[in-house]
């Protein structure tokens, strides 16, 4: 199995090769490249805190922007979370002015949310890690017909929201609900 460091290096090589190929095909030189990455990352610096699906469950923080800048320093690299990128796009495409707060939630391999604040005219982030809306790994209590369910998240943690309500989590929950429903019917 490939190490996390190797996978991160391979990712940087892939991106650099892809950008060079696109520039060659268009006979143009890009001065700025933006990447929307499906990972928890610091919105201010481009440091990826965790990207289990890309680099494994035990990956350490990785300064992706610096790694890309070292490989192709002539380009200004912008790294944003994919949910952030989608919410920015939705907010900008609105015809009517936005007032209050707009929230975008994704349910796929994981669960994430972002909120756009019209008062701040942007996406507020926390001052420590540059994050917002990584709700899939919040611990939750899940029960069905008075039975408490326990599930394992893809990150290895117990009873995180993803364990019950992500794409894979919903499969797990529905199977458990079916078993519990049969048990209740047998008792009745
Ligand atoms: Zn988790």
What is the CATH classification number for the domain harbouring 13?
3.30.420.40
Residue 11: pLDDT band by 50, 70, 90 thresholds? Answer: very high
Considering the domain boundaries, does residue 97 fall inside one?
Answer: no
* Contacts of 137 by beta carbon, 8 Å cutoff, 6+ apart: 153, 155, 157, 160, 161, 162
Check pLDDT > 70 for residue 80: yes
Q: Find the domain containing 176 and state its range.
A: 138-188
Considering the domain boundaries, does residue 160 fall inside one?
Answer: yes
Q: Is 25 helix (H, G, I), strand (E, B) or coil?
A: helix
Check pLDDT > 90 for residue 56: no
Å from CA of 135 to ligand 1 middle: 9
Q: How many domains does the chain have?
A: 2
Å from CA of 58 to ligand 1 middle: 12
Considering the domain boundaries, does residue 112 fall inside one?
Answer: no
pTM of the predicted model as reported, rounded to 2 decimal places: 0.79
Q: What is the pLDDT at residue 25?
A: 94
Using the 8-state DSSP alphabet, how is residue 97 labeled?
P
Å from CA of 24 to ligand 1 middle: 41
Å from CA of 143 to ligand 1 middle: 18
Q: What is the pLDDT at residue 89?
A: 92
């Amino acid at each position: 199995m490939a190490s996390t460091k190797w996978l991160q290096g391979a990712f940087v090589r892939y991106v650099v090769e892809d950008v060079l190929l696109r520039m060659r095909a268009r006979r143009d030189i890009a001065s700025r490249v933006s990447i929307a990455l499906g990972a928890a990352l610091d919105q201010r610096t481009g440091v990826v805190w965790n990207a289990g699906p890309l680099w494994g469950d035990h990956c350490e923080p990785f300064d992706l922007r610096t790694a890309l800048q070292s490989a192709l320093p002539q380009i200004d690299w912008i790294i944003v979370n994919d949910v952030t990128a989608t919410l920015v796009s939705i907010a900008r495409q609105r015809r009517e002015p936005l007032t209050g707060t707009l929230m975008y939630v994704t349910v796929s391999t994981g669960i994430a949310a972002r909120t756009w604040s019209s008062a701040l005219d942007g996406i507020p982030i926390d001052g420590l890690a540059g994050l917002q809306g990584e709700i899939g790994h919040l611990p939750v209590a899940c029960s069905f017909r008075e039975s408490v369910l326990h599930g394992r998240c893809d990150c290895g943690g117990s009873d995180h929201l993803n364990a019950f309500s992500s794409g894979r989590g919903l499969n797990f929950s529905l199977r458990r609900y079916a078993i519990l429903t049969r048990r209740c019917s047998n008792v009745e």
